Amino acid sequence: MKAMNRDADHVNFKLLEAAIRFNARILGLTAGTLAAAVIYIATQASIVKWGGDSGGYLELLAIFFPGYSVSSTGAWVGAFWAFIYCGTGSWLSYRVYGKVLGARISGLLLSPGSTMNPVLKPSTLRLHGVSLGIAIGAIAGLGLFASTAWLVIRGTAGESVHAALFSNYIPGYSVSIFGGLWGAIELFGLVFLSCLLLATVYNRLVEMRHKTP
């Protein structure tokens, strides 16, 4: 952490590290719960709509979610795995975001230095697009590579026709170790750009909404 903040004198690194750890846990909890809810609702919706014929693409999740199936019990199993994967991914993303951002985190407030009581009178959060892009892009790329490698390791790479469809959006991607590596790099770029866009729109709106005359 100190290495990333050589130009920042008199920074309480212990507090900064604790702050990043705290927010990483909160984000992990938030994203994990939302992902669990999405998988649970999608599974239940599939059961309600198609009954005994439900499954289809959702059933493919069982490759990554051991014990998952499109059933009432499977919905809970899926929710559990979604919480684990998404929660861990988000927690890791914020850790990377915090490391890349370092002491500049305080400069992201709408009015830095003006909030003397951050607990009772919180400031409004702004996003740092580049750090966000690096963090989420890296985790997304790693996720794609790990998923592809898993398909190769379990010996079903040749049958993974659905995963191969990624090549429509990520030219050069294939269900192989090299294809996964190439796909991870390209996905990093795409997610990085998306995060830049998200942060720009969000920050612009925050500035517009909280502009003091």
Partner 1 sequence: MSRPVKDHEILSAVFAKMDAVAMTVALGALCSLLLFLATAVLLVQASPDSYFVGEHLRDLSDYLPGYSVSWMGAGIGAGYGLLLGGIAGFLVAVYWNLTHYFALGVMLISSAELAD
List contacts with partner 1 (CB under 8 A).
7-12, 15-16, 19, 22-23, 26-27, 29-31, 33-34, 42, 45, 49, 56-57, 103, 105-106, 108-110, 112-113, 115-119, 122-125, 162, 165, 168-169, 194, 197-198, 201-202, 205-206, 209-210
Closest approach, Cβ 34 to partner 1, in A, equals 6
- Closer to partner 1 by CB, 153 or 200: give it: 200
Q: Tokens 């690194």 sit at which residue?
A: 13
CB nearer partner 1, residue 146 or residue 201: 201
Give whichever of 99 and 177 is closer to partner 1, judged by the CB atom: 99
Query: Of how many residues is the chain composed?
Result: 213
Q: How far is the CB of 42 from partner 1 (least distance, A)?
A: 8
As measured in angstroms, the least distance from the Cβ of 9 to partner 1 is 6
How many CB atoms within 10 Å of residue 178?
11
86: three-class secondary structure by DSSP: helix
- Residue whose tokens read 């925050």: 206
Q: Of 64, 39, 69, give the one whose Cα is nearest residue 151.
A: 64
The torsion of the CA quartet 127, 129, 131, 136, rounded to 10 degrees, works out to 100
The residue among 73 and 124 lying less far from partner 1, judged by its C-beta, is: 124
Q: DSSP secondary-structure letter at 169?
A: T
Output 41 or 146, the one with its CB closest to partner 1.
41
Q: How far is the CB of 85 from partner 1 (least distance, A)?
A: 17
Smallest separation, CB 137 to partner 1 (Å): 14
Nearer to partner 1, 30 or 72 (CB): 30
Phi, psi (rounded to 5 degrees) for 116: -80, -25
Please name the residue that has the structure tokens 């998952």. Answer: 68
Residue 197 Cα distances to 13, 24, 104, 201, 206, angstroms: 30, 22, 20, 6, 14
CB of 68 to partner 1, least distance (A): 18
As given in the structure block, the two tokens for residue 141 are 């790329």
Neighbours of 127 (CB within 10 A): 20
Distance between CA atoms of 162 and 191, rounded to whole angstroms? 21
